[in-house]
A = this chain, B = another copy of it.
């Protein structure tokens, strides 16, 4: 066990630092309040790709530098020190393109991997549907063969909770191709051109005020059979690749203890100074050990990866810990602010109203990418090997599964 870089790692870090210092934007480059543009994001991604800092672990044949997972981690640590523009490529590079690399045709691999890696094309993932909820396999958006015998498919239906649909170039799409067989067996995966006029993207107005997600409507969208990813009816198996990547990618584990301590330092409770309040201090300790525990759990995963082992299931615990924790942190901070906690104006609220913002975003975190309840099920089933929930929809034709609607 060693927290210091090996000589090779130290060398890699030094090079990455030098490159970033020469190429990354600096704090002073930013006009206060100005949001980085999509063009800046694409330019930064292209620069990284050219220097071998995009998709560091991808093999050379796919345009990656073929680096190690520690190198990837080291670069991420160093990059985080700079005010680099936002990264709209995560879903494409983390989920969609790996799906194509695993299950797509050779032609698709050649066509899509490079441009995605260089930030030239952005991808979104279209699995969730309004009636599906936690059950991604319940997709009802239909694809039927065109009647003209061309082999083309005609797509109709609606997807929901699609991040980045409004600026994506392509999307991967899970579709119902056969409603007469059981749920998991009648699905097929496709890629689609998001700029097709048969696709309509409508932003979802979230309770937090933002609208990072979209509803996406398909009306007689026609796609070639060559846009199919994997065999007809094999879509669920293909989607597993995508979803596993999603659940590992989300997660995180922010540690808010510092800000809470900063807040508490200036606040009085009935019993005296907020920061001296034992109830708050015990909570800070509880939060701290959870955030630290997640941080070191990630390092354990990273170590397993670097040794060529499959990481243990510990990777799945990030979000189930972090999301409720953030909600609790925010609620506790507001209680400490007392009457004042209701103010969400960053001009007046302590720490630019960060806890008020967290309170309003936390419910979304507890749901997106798998609810608290689904994630516990996953841990119980995949990690501990406990039985699946009783399934009433297993050997039933999809069209006959009860929906309550």
Which residues of A are interface residues toward B (Cβ below 8 A)? 269, 271, 276-282, 390, 392
Contacts and interface: CB of A to CB of B under 8 A. Distances in A.
Of listed A276, A278, A281, A392, residue having the most chain B CB within 10 A: A278
Nearest to A389: B390
Contact of A278 (B280, B390, B392): B280
Contact of A271 (B269, B278, B390, B392): B278
Contact of A390 (B281, B282, B392): B392
Contacts of A390: 390, 392
A278 to B, nearest CB: 4
Number of this chain's copies in the assembly equals 2
Nearest to A272: B278
Nearest to A390: B390
A276 B272 CA distance: 11
13 contacts: A269-B278, A271-B276, A271-B278, A271-B281, A277-B278, A278-B278, A278-B279, A278-B280, A279-B279, A279-B281, A279-B282, A390-B390, A390-B392
A282 B270 CA distance: 12
Nearest to A392: B390
A276 to B, nearest CB: 8
Contacts of A392: 390
Contacts of A271: 276, 278, 281
